[in-house]
Chain A
């Protein structure tokens, strides 16, 4: 089974703090993704990476950056956390071809106070 591990399940941070959300996958996939999920808005793609050190903006990249130094690890960075970034963050990995799919981690609940 594919394993996608998000390092923190629950975090509480103060406004203005720098926040790191870590994600590790064990399937040697090239593609990795960060989504956020909010009530009434569903899942929205923040950033994705299709190779080490390669990244592309998703639908809502503002206020976020990412880092992919190793293939198995994809980090989401909030440079200066704000209350409107309180959300559930989901990391995913996989490829949409030949009957494959994208697999998700268990999510990280971030509260910014």
Chain B
């Protein structure tokens, strides 16, 4: 148990659906992250939030929309996804953004887009 939870753990959706991924951290951290992990590829950083403010957005398509209502919760809203968006979506948190801060990961949501 790393203190970061994600729901759902598995999600199958059609290209016209709208769904949301949820992440919650119980570590009192100030920074939260969304990553995409595809098979045999490096982790791709999607979004970074620091103190509820989005500080990074790495050229992610607009069909992915993050939301950070408070420092403990992070959402990823999904709409009109493509099959190539099928991947493991990982949430992480760290005490602060930057420096030597260790990131703590959630178990991920395995997403399949049909």
Interaction A to B: no
Which residues of chain A have a CB within 8 Å of any CB of chain B? none
